[in-house]
């Protein structure tokens, strides 16, 4: 160990999914959208004015904030943007979870929550999902320093009842409740209508899934102005210019095409429902998913072995070697054609297993 | 105050310079480069493959890291990239300054250092520059939890003797010494050659000034692999994908054109030297600048009033209302033509003052 390491922070970072590249790969491992973004996004990138790249971007990202406010019918001072919902969440943890009381989140959820808590030394308690991987509302009515809930939850795909979410928000006026809605556009109810009623609610969403812009890194949060002001102050204490010009321009442009967005989500949901039927037919079980992935297990196939087998067939899914979920695979919904190939390969594998 | 604010972090954020836009503005207030980036950067943006925006970027930013390593003759595991040098510095503060001992930096320097220290609750001591705004090496030989030095310093423009920087690094083996070289390409000596010798040295640079890519948000750090590994772990605990696809592609492409980069820096330096002569002729004094700005004061003009006057002439410079420097203006070097206009306006103003 070097002498200076005594003053260095020791952390165990989050491990993102693999990013394999190559022809013929079916990439169902990081919940990307199989369809391209709205053509307006690409056009905006190609049309960035030549003389602007040398200039700092607008630190308020006004064009993007304004487009989001328009889309969701909010005021501009109710919108915060960041480099993917990951940056929005990381800065929100830093801004709102500054307590000696532990923050609360489920034992099975987005695996970045404990990483951020550890990075910022925020005490936390994880609360077990029930046997069907559902959140138990009552668990979140205890004293705490903050709450973060993914809805739909990851990697399970389950959506909570909005009445339960509202109960949690209402019962915790002295805590900020972050509802992480990365997957909400694929069929779950959003907590956005509750923003008017609760000053302690922050709703976080992303352009990475439903808007097919994972490569652009755009996420956002919506909350009442005081919440957004405090989050912005933390952002301006971290990096004045988090959003580069391409992200601001292409992100704002993508929002203009509401019909394209709705159609893309509809296609993903249709294929998800088809995939559910097929997986059931093959003997898989899974929580009912409202996301662009299915979290599936099979009584006769070990998830880890199936994960490795699928890779040999150029199909990448996600496996988490963690308690309670180490016999599950998280399978992103790709195109209909990709899912047909997947089902075909799964069918072959299961028939091999039975021999 | 809302109930939940008891758990929220209270900070005083950094204030970036104004970003006025409009025809005829001469923008000399945020140290941007007056010349466009290498044409390869623009071309790379226009040629981003249609089907890639929906996919997450490479979390390692390999194409960009590799281009930086090539340019500077370093290994890839000695290079870290971030969203501007601000993100690189913010994450470096979080990673390396985790001590109960105070970190050290000058009283007059980049005004983000104390903002980051306050955000992360890092204790710090500021050490006064001498009367000529030079760093006193001896001040940095005391016990500390880390050191950060801007070289050339901002907003003064003064460069340190490399032997003094090396003395500070050598004398502090139990601290990481960050040398922030945002402006180094305009004529100062870099600490990069010291990286091989000192495992506690982190050199931070940016694409925002000398490479004319402020709008793309690309910064980087170079240090020995163990230092870079710890910084990367903190980054992966914050946001897996900080660099979007446009930043990785256009940033890497820009590095390919070394001749363009050298020519741009040469032009800025030539205009800077001309501007120094003219400012001297008009009675201004300033520390000798090795940066793309000049930090000037005049015995007969109040900086604050001159700042306001220049704005009425559509010329934006930077004024800091802080002790010791509240009668100075930081003037970015623009094109030769812009600086000729500035000198003309200053000359007029001073002749008015004398009446």
Which structure tokens are listed for A8? 């260095």
Cis bond upstream, residue B221 (ω within 30): no
Tell me the mean pLDDT in the region B324-350: 97
Nearest-by-CA chain A residue for B52? A215
Chain A residues lying within 8 Å of B204, measured CB to CB: none
Asked if the model's pLDDT at residue B21 lies above 90, the reply is no
Give the whole-angstrom CA distance, residue B67 versus residue B220: 11
Contact between B139 and B133 under an 8 Å Cβ cutoff? The reply is no
Contact between A157 and A296 under an 8 Å Cβ cutoff? The reply is no
Give the whole-angstrom CA distance, residue B98 versus residue B295: 33
Per residue in B203-240, pLDDT tens? 999 999 999 999 999 999 999 999 999 999 999 999 99
pLDDT at B83: 98
Query: Phi then psi for A224, rounded to 5 degrees?
Result: -70, 155
Cβ neighbours around A89 below 10 Å, total: 26
Give the whole-angstrom CA distance, residue A153 versus residue B8: 25
**Residue spans of beta strands (DSSP E) within A102-152:** 103-106, 124-127, 146-150
Which structure tokens are listed for A4? 């200076």
Share of chain B above pLDDT 70, in %: 100
**A327 interfacial to chain B (CB closer than 8 Å):** no
Going by C-alpha positions, the residue among B233, B184, B178, B180 that lies closest to residue B201 is B178
**A114 interfacial to chain B (CB closer than 8 Å):** no
Secondary structure of residue B197 in the 3-state scheme: coil
Chain A residues lying within 8 Å of B44, measured CB to CB: none
CA distances from B152 to B264, B272, B318, B322 (A): 18, 15, 17, 20
Residue A65: alpha-carbon gap to chain centroid? 19
Domain residue ranges of chain B, discontinuous segments joined by + = 23-36+259-354, 39-256
Question: What CATH topology corresponds to A19-36+259-354?
Answer: 3.90.1150
Is B6 close to A51, i.e. CB distance below 8 A?
A: no
Element (H, E) at A275: helix A258-281
**B256 interfacial to chain A (CB closer than 8 Å):** no
pLDDT at A355: 64
Q: Which residue has the tokens 């909400």?
A: A184
Contact between A48 and A249 under an 8 Å Cβ cutoff? The reply is yes
Give the whole-angstrom CA distance, residue A123 versus residue A339: 41
- Determine the distance in angstroms separating the CA of B232 from the nearest CA of chain A, rounded to an integer: 9
Return residues 272-301 of B near A (CB < 8 Å). none
What CATH number does the domain located at A39-256 have?
3.40.640.10
**B54 interfacial to chain A (CB closer than 8 Å):** yes
pLDDT tier, B18 (very low <50, low <70, confident <90, very high otherwise): confident
Tell me the mean pLDDT in the region B119-143: 97
Q: What is the 3-state secondary structure (H, E, C) of B284-346?
A: CECCCCCCCEEEEEECCECHHHHHHHHHHCCEECECCCCCCCCCCEEEECCCHHHHHHHHHHH
- Determine the distance in angstroms separating the CA of A89 from the nearest CA of chain B, rounded to an integer: 9
Give the whole-angstrom CA distance, residue B215 versus residue A55: 5
The structure's pTM equals 0.97
Residue A201: alpha-carbon gap to chain centroid? 17
Which structure tokens are listed for B39? 């044409």
Which distant-in-sequence residues (6+ apart) come within 8 Å of A249 by Cβ? A44, A45, A48, A63
Q: What is the largest CA-CA distance in chain B?
A: 66
- Determine the distance in angstroms separating the CA of A195 from the nearest CA of chain B, rounded to an integer: 15
Secondary structure of residue A81 in the 3-state scheme: strand
Secondary structure of residue A62 in the 3-state scheme: helix
- Overall residue count recorded for chain A in this entry: 355
Is A244 close to B246, i.e. CB distance below 8 A?
A: yes
pLDDT at B194: 98
A267, with CB counted inside 10 A (0-12, 13-18, 19+), is: middle
Second CATH level (architecture) for the domain B23-36+259-354: Alpha-Beta Complex (3.90)
pLDDT tier, B182 (very low <50, low <70, confident <90, very high otherwise): very high
Cβ neighbours around A305 below 10 Å, total: 12
- Determine the distance in angstroms separating the CA of B256 from the nearest CA of chain A, rounded to an integer: 17
As for the ipTM of the complex, it is 0.96
Asked if the model's pLDDT at residue B28 lies above 70, the reply is yes
Nearest-by-CA chain A residue for B174? A4
- Which of B43, B246, B247, B264 has the highest number of chain A CBs within 10 A, making it the mutation to test binding with A? B246
Which distant-in-sequence residues (6+ apart) come within 8 Å of A134 by Cβ? A158, A160, A287
Which structure tokens are listed for B314? 């559509």
Alpha helices in chain B (DSSP H): 39-46, 62-72, 84-96, 113-119, 162-171, 225-236, 245-255, 258-281, 303-312, 336-354
Element (H, E) at B232: helix B225-236
pLDDT at B355: 64
Count of helix runs (H) and strand runs (E) in chain A: 10, 11
Element (H, E) at B84: helix B84-96
Give the whole-angstrom CA distance, residue A257 versus residue A39: 9
Q: Which of B27, B45, B53 sits opposite A37 (nearest CB)?
A: B53
Q: Which residue has the tokens 């990951």?
A: A86
Nearest 10 degrees: CA dihedral of A208, A213, A215, A216? Answer: -100
Going by C-alpha positions, the residue among A59, B353, A154 that lies closest to residue B345 is B353
Q: What is the 3-state secondary structure (H, E, C) of A12-36?
A: CCCCCCCCCCCCCCEECCCCCCCCC
**B237 interfacial to chain A (CB closer than 8 Å):** yes
Which structure tokens are listed for A342? 């997947």
pLDDT in tens, chain A (355 residues): 889 999 999 898 888 888 887 888 999 999 999 999 999 999 999 999 878 999 999 999 999 999 999 999 999 999 999 999 999 999 999 999 999 999 999 999 999 999 999 999 999 999 999 999 999 999 999 999 999 999 999 999 999 999 999 999 999 999 999 999 999 999 999 999 999 999 999 999 999 999 999 999 999 999 999 999 999 999 999 999 999 999 999 999 999 999 999 999 999 999 999 999 999 999 999 999 999 999 999 999 999 999 999 999 999 999 999 999 999 999 999 999 999 999 999 999 999 877 6
CA distances from A329 to A110, A296, A319 (A): 15, 5, 5
Is B237 close to A16, i.e. CB distance below 8 A?
A: no
Q: Which of B13, B46, B56 sits opposite A233 (nearest CB)?
A: B13
């Amino acid at each position: 160990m070097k002498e200076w390491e005594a003053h260095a922070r020791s952390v165990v970072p989050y491990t993102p999914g693999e990013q394999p590249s190559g022809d013929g790969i079916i990439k169902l491992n990081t919940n990307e959208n199989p369809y391209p973004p709205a053509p307006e996004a690409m056009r905006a990138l190609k049309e960035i004015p030549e003389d602007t790249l040398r200039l700092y971007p607008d630190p308020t990202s006004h064009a993007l904030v304004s487009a989001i406010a328009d889309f969701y019918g909010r005021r501009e001072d109710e919108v915060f943007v960041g480099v993917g919902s990951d940056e929005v969440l990381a800065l929100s943890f830093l801004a709102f979870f500054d307590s000696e009381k532990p923050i609360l989140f489920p034992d099975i959820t987005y695996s970045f929550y404990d990483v951020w808590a550890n990075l910022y030394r925020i005490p936390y308690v994880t609360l077990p999902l029930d046997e069907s991987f559902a959140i138990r509302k009552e668990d979140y009515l205890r004293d705490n320093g903050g709450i973060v809930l993914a809805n739909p939850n990851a990697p399970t795909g389950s959506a909570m009842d909005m009445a339960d979410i509202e109960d949690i928000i209402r019962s915790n006026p002295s805590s900020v409740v972050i509802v992480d809605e990365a997957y909400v556009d694929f069929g779950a109810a959003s907590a956005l209508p509750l923003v008017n009623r609760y000053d302690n609610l922050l709703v976080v969403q992303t352009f990475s899934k439903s808007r097919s812009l994972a490569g652009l890194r755009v996420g956002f949060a919506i909350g009442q102005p005081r919440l957004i002001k405090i989050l912005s102050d933390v952002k301006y204490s971290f990096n004045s210019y988090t959003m580069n010009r391409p992200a601001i321009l292409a992100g704002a442009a993508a929002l203009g095409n509401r019909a394209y967005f709705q159609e893309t989500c509809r296609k993903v949901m249709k294929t998800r429902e088809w995939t559910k039927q097929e997986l059931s037919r093959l003997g898989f079980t899974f929580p009912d998913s409202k996301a662009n992935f299915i979290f599936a297990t099979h009584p006769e196939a070990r998830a880890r072995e199936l994960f490795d087998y699928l890779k040999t067939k150029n199909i990448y899914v996600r496996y988490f070697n963690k308690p309670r979920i180490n016999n599950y695979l998280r399978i992103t919904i790709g195109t209909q054609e990709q899912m047909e190939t997947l089902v075909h390969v799964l069918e072959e594998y299961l028939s091999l297993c039975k021999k």
